Amino acid sequence: NRYDFPRFRLFSEKKTNHLPATKSSAALTSLLMSPVFQDVHVMIFIGFGFLMTFLKRYGFSSVGFNLLLAAFGLQWGLLTQGLWHLEDGKIKVTIFKIINADFSTATVLISFGAVLGKTSPVQLLIMTVLEISLFSINEHLVAQIFKANDVGASMIIHAFGAYFGLAVARVLYRPGLRNGHDNDGSVYHSDLFAMIGTVFLWMFWPSFNSAIADPGLTQLTAVINTYLSLAACVLSAYAISSLVEHKGKLDMVHIQNATLAGGVAVGTCADMAIGPYGAMLIGFVAGIISTVGFKYLTPILASNLGIQDTCGVHNLHGMPGILGGLAGIVAVALGKKEGGDAAMQAAALASSLGFALVGGAITGFIMKLPFWGQPPDQNCYDDSIYWEVRNPISHK
Amino acid sequence: NRYDFPRFRLFSEKKTNHLPATKSSAALTSLLMSPVFQDVHVMIFIGFGFLMTFLKRYGFSSVGFNLLLAAFGLQWGLLTQGLWHLEDGKIKVTIFKIINADFSTATVLISFGAVLGKTSPVQLLIMTVLEISLFSINEHLVAQIFKANDVGASMIIHAFGAYFGLAVARVLYRPGLRNGHDNDGSVYHSDLFAMIGTVFLWMFWPSFNSAIADPGLTQLTAVINTYLSLAACVLSAYAISSLVEHKGKLDMVHIQNATLAGGVAVGTCADMAIGPYGAMLIGFVAGIISTVGFKYLTPILASNLGIQDTCGVHNLHGMPGILGGLAGIVAVALGKKEGGDAAMQAAALASSLGFALVGGAITGFIMKLPFWGQPPDQNCYDDSIYWEVRNPISHK
Amino acid sequence: NRYDFPRFRLFSEKKTNHLPATKSSAALTSLLMSPVFQDVHVMIFIGFGFLMTFLKRYGFSSVGFNLLLAAFGLQWGLLTQGLWHLEDGKIKVTIFKIINADFSTATVLISFGAVLGKTSPVQLLIMTVLEISLFSINEHLVAQIFKANDVGASMIIHAFGAYFGLAVARVLYRPGLRNGHDNDGSVYHSDLFAMIGTVFLWMFWPSFNSAIADPGLTQLTAVINTYLSLAACVLSAYAISSLVEHKGKLDMVHIQNATLAGGVAVGTCADMAIGPYGAMLIGFVAGIISTVGFKYLTPILASNLGIQDTCGVHNLHGMPGILGGLAGIVAVALGKKEGGDAAMQAAALASSLGFALVGGAITGFIMKLPFWGQPPDQNCYDDSIYWEVRNPISHK
């Protein structure tokens, strides 16, 4: 027999009776997926966590609450998603289930970005419970009822998480912060910490978009489409940032965020036969939309609509997520996905937006109840209300 | 033949005569293990290295000496462990051997945490030589003679490394630091650098605990148990931190460390059939013990027993390591591991603690000899005694 | 059939018609290579990006321009390299092609280090286009015509990138910076950010050197040789740094860079049968050469030859790259690589150096044209000329 798996002796030198399992496809597939899981894990905990450390005095909360919410959320996600896939009345935990649990927390971390600096940990934990529950219902609807394609979750994670968070932010509107806040800004090194988050998200996005793709060539297609979309997106984000800024300078906020919009926007189509040009076109457009959104749309949302979006999740996850959903409809209509149905893609997008806006508004009202310890305006964007801060660095 | 491995042509377009090796289980298993090796590598070099950068003026030494000790230690570990497994009088280097070499350095890096800021590089290199030699003897005893289970090394790495370091710290007791030291503390950004270490350790711990598990389903079990234990541990660490601190605030020291105790404590049982609830229970308890230890036990150890534990390794590796050993005894007694023997588990724990305390004390006395360049009290926790420091950041 | 791959059902619960692909070697090999690709990706974007953040006021540009150049360069690299390997008139994108695209950008990022702080983004983009085009020609020559071995690219990436960049730096010589520049130095935390780059490069170098090795045992050999070379290199870099510095102190510049020289130098031989001692010898020598270069050679190059090498790429990539090429010639001459030809190895080294020096000089003259926005001397090493910098940290 040429496939002599048992030939290799492990370090432990112990006899093992699990070798048949290794030989089987189940274990092999799972072992092949382990690195993908780790990449997604890095995006959730390092990527989202450090991306939000750009605020000068809110780094402990950004990375610390991110860890808390994600660790709590993945357990809740395992439960809620597990209920849709019970086996003999039990939730079977597999590598795919824990990838999916990580995914469900991503929605919360996106929404967290919209309300960053303005909510207490208790409020955030409530948001986690409600948002993941709604995510799980919408995900079931999209995947099982509509049978829509959303391999990289442009719709069910990014658009959902962004509009959910924006609805919460609208309900929690703070007139006292209309004219900004001293702490709502970055210092030099906080922007560098945030770049750790940006770059890890950027690098591992191909794993995110391919994690639940059909194994084999489809999965590789998702990797390569995402890689190309992100590369094109960097170029348009830099170009537009330089174009819209004073004297052609670049703005760190755009670089930290808009360079990632290509990963969001190619999500739905990642595993479709859109070809390199399709992927790059999507990424290029996403970089433009996202940068323009940061420059012109975010201030309007804050001043005219009362939506104070701390991290600009509307520009990184909201609009690119919708772009991804639309691109998916077009791609399916053009026959780029075997068995796809454009109407069902549209239904999936509408469902994700509807659940997000309605669910976010209700969640916002629950979070607004006066006993969850919401910080007063003057303590916003400030770690010292929740953390023992010993030696704050001086900021001019 | 459906399994037509040679079909794929490599980028180099060169003919290769190694394809039969790929097809074989040995190479396949090794290639599957490479990502696991890289994860462990990240824990050793980024995880431990940055976790210790929390000190305001000792970041160069933390990450720099960590690199030096680990790079030296893994070579020494390859040698000492190789001597137990000679093949034709030679040490055969495999992916499993280099994972194990990384493991052996982990013991030293844990002990380093106990004496951080108070020892010279030469003292630390001496500690590396002696500790890894003793680790290798104890590891041989535990794995080959007792045939005990310790897949994630709660006993042979974490408890061993912690108590070894504490014994060294006891021998090197500095009465002059009884009332603290100006540099023995963090600043805002040093705490953020430390969180890089924390989060990478947290994320990749499933790989650490499963790296030497039997391949296949057993290995996946170790991944999932560790993932769940860590998730539960985060919750209890945050809860207890808030409970014991002034005004319900969180302490960065707890978050940086106690959130990881679940990975330590589930180590011995990680590949056993303890189920999700078992794993989460272990993690939850570990988070409590660790946080309480930081708050109440560390000051007592320092003032009453003369054990000045800079990083609190007793709380992150010591007590959770013992908890892991005890959990292993219980799990084996309950039949959760085929072929396990509870008495041998107990012997493994006792052996690890005994080697650590006696070996650490002897090593401490050798390190105390007056010609190794131990820094005077006033230069403790200060990079500038060992490094050219050009522009120190100002600390108020 | 024991190899029942389809047994495993994916999370998505959808039927898939791609399972035969998974079973095939092509997809399996690609999936096995995905983690290697991700490691290389981390080296390119985090490794190179953060390694250059050591400058006190140039962190945004270091990590930001690194992202821009790499994202642009990998697209250009896909194109130029693709032209050598057209299939039916099309460029087929595979996991190996995108690894190779990442590789081609590495040359640019190395050259970027030589001119860091003294060039505009437009100049750098021009350099990217020209350098990758030349790299692709030289790579084709070395691999296809000479059929030389350079698995870890000591010659075609490291030596090429370094001497290309040095030639550019020579042409762009700035007499006004002869006596240094206030911003040409580090602060405490910028040196710690740089260590993030160093450590990620150090950890993932085994993946870099083995990424295009023949799969199977040859690939594992490359991993282990690189691992050992790097470990030995750390020891010699620390030893020599302490030896040449005032009072035996260590210099962060040496630790950040010279510890990596072992990865560069073992590149060409990584997949050859050089044995552990061969690998460690190469690494040990590289660490010495690199550290000595930083201490004594860099100042001479700047003052006597007009080569202002900001990051010291001559010491990290240049000399160790040549060492790697020479070691390859010797190893092949000693029969350590089946089918190798020492003369062809020498031709490959000469070709790489020739292309680099001539190509770099020409590129330098093009970059020197007065309309690319090259910054004036007083604005060198300063982010604020290209970035909106809101709150610079104060430097004494």
Residues 286-325, chain A, touching C (beta carbon < 8 A): none
Q: Which residue of C has its CA nearest to A280?
A: C75
pLDDT of residue C392: 59
**B245 contacts: CB under 8 Å, gap ≥ 6:** A388, B251, B295
* ipTM of this predicted structure: 0.93
Q: What is the least distance, in Å, from the CA of C242 to any CA of chain B?
A: 9
pLDDT over 50 at C120, yes or no: yes
How many angstroms separate the CA atoms of B271 and A19, rounded?
15
Angstrom distances, CA of residue C92 to CA of A275, B5, B10, C38, C96:
10, 20, 13, 20, 10
**A380 contacts: CB under 8 Å, gap ≥ 6:** A117, A118, A174, A177, A181, A183, A184
Single out the residue of B30, B67, B42 nearest to residue B206, CA to CA: B42
Chain C hits for B64, Cβ within 8 Å? 195, 250, 252, 255
Task: Please give the structure tokens belonging to residue A47.
Answer: 């990527």
Nearest to A39 among C28, C38, C389 (CB): C38
**CB of C121 closer than 8 Å to CB of C105:** no
**Quick check: A217 contacting B, CB < 8 Å?**
no
**A77 contacts: CB under 8 Å, gap ≥ 6:** A100, A101, A102, A103, A104, A105, A132, A135, A136
pLDDT of residue B217: 86
How many angstroms separate the CA atoms of A102 and A111, rounded?
15
* Cα end-to-end span (Å), chain C: 72
> What average pLDDT does chain A have?
91
Helices (H), B24-120: 25-42, 48-51, 59-84, 95-115
H or E element at residue C35: helix C25-42
Burial of A79 (0-12, 13-18, 19+ CB in 10 A): middle
**Quick check: B396 contacting C, CB < 8 Å?**
no
Helices (H), C153-274: 160-171, 188-210, 217-244, 252-258, 261-265
Give exposure, C33-47, as e/b (b: 16+ Cβ within 10 Å).
bbbbbbbbbbbbbbb
**CB of A337 closer than 8 Å to CB of A331:** yes
pLDDT of residue C27: 74
Task: Please give the structure tokens belonging to residue A33.
Answer: 């997926």
pLDDT of residue A8: 28
How many angstroms separate the CA atoms of C53 and C63, rounded?
7
How many angstroms separate the CA atoms of C356 and C325, rounded?
14
**Quick check: A6 contacting B, CB < 8 Å?**
yes
Task: Please give the structure tokens belonging to residue B97.
Answer: 């051997």
How many angstroms separate the CA atoms of A276 and A273, rounded?
9
How many angstroms separate the CA atoms of A21 and C202, rounded?
35
Compute, in degrees rounded to 10, the torsion defined by CA atoms A172, A173, A174, A180: 120
Single out the residue of A216, A232, B39, A282 nearest to residue C79, CA to CA: A232
Phi, psi (5° rounding) for residue B278? -60, -45
Residues 64-83, chain C, touching A (beta carbon < 8 A): 64, 67-68, 71-72, 74-75
How many angstroms separate the CA atoms of B7 and B16, rounded?
12
User: How would you classify residue A213: left for phi > 0, otherwise alpha for psi between -120 and 50, otherwise beta?
Assistant: beta
- CB-CB neighbours of C77 under 10 Å: 28
Q: Which residue of B has its CA nearest to A96?
A: B224
Supply the DSSP symbol for C90: B
Amino acid at A331: A
Q: What is the pLDDT along chain B (396 residues), one digit of tens a residue?
A: 222 222 222 223 333 333 333 445 677 778 888 899 999 999 999 999 999 999 999 999 999 999 999 999 999 999 998 888 888 888 888 888 999 999 999 999 999 999 999 999 999 999 999 999 999 999 999 999 999 999 999 999 999 999 999 999 999 999 999 989 999 999 999 999 999 999 999 999 999 999 999 888 899 999 999 999 999 999 999 999 999 988 899 999 999 999 999 999 999 999 999 999 999 999 999 999 999 999 999 999 999 999 999 999 999 999 999 999 999 999 999 999 998 999 999 999 999 999 999 999 999 999 999 999 999 999 999 999 999 997 655 443
Q: What is the least distance, in Å, from the CA of A39 to any CA of chain B?
A: 10
* Interface probe with A: pick from C4, C5, C8, C41, most Cβ of A within 10 Å: C8
How many angstroms separate the CA atoms of B57 and B395, rounded?
10
Task: Please give the structure tokens belonging to residue A354.
Answer: 């509807």
* Interface probe with A: pick from C217, C390, C394, C396, most Cβ of A within 10 Å: C390
Interchain pair A387, B202: CB under 8 A:
no
Residues 13-42, chain B, touching C (beta carbon < 8 A): 13-14, 16-22, 24, 26-28, 30-32, 34-35, 38, 41-42
**A89 contacts: CB under 8 Å, gap ≥ 6:** none
**CB of A167 closer than 8 Å to CB of A360:** yes
**CB of C46 closer than 8 Å to CB of A203:** yes
* Interface probe with A: pick from B220, B241, B274, most Cβ of A within 10 Å: B220
Interchain pair C394, A394: CB under 8 A:
yes
Task: Please give the structure tokens belonging to residue A240.
Answer: 């537009």
Interchain pair B25, A45: CB under 8 A:
no
How many angstroms separate the CA atoms of C96 and C31, rounded?
11
Interchain pair C203, B42: CB under 8 A:
yes
Q: What does the pLDDT look like over A266-310, one tens digit per residue?
A: 999 999 999 999 999 999 999 999 999 999 999 999 999 999 999
The helices-and-strands tally (H runs, E runs) of chain B is 16, 0
Low-confidence ranges of chain A (pLDDT < 50): 1-23, 394-396
For the four alpha carbons of A68, A213, C77 and A331, in that order, the dihedral sign comes to negative
Single out the residue of A315, A307, A270 nearest to residue A289, CA to CA: A315
Block residue for tokens 């099309």:
C90
Chain B hits for A34, Cβ within 8 Å? 35-36, 207, 220, 223
**CB of B37 closer than 8 Å to CB of B98:** yes
Chain B hits for A121, Cβ within 8 Å? 238
Q: What is the least distance, in Å, from the CA of B97 to any CA of chain A?
A: 7
**Quick check: B243 contacting A, CB < 8 Å?**
no
Q: What is the least distance, in Å, from the CA of B275 to any CA of chain A?
A: 10
Interchain pair C27, A220: CB under 8 A:
yes
Interchain pair B249, A386: CB under 8 A:
yes
**A335 contacts: CB under 8 Å, gap ≥ 6:** none
pLDDT over 80 at C117, yes or no: yes
Interchain pair C93, A187: CB under 8 A:
no
Interchain pair B45, C202: CB under 8 A:
yes
Residues 99-138, chain C, touching B (beta carbon < 8 A): 99-100
Chain B hits for C82, Cβ within 8 Å? none
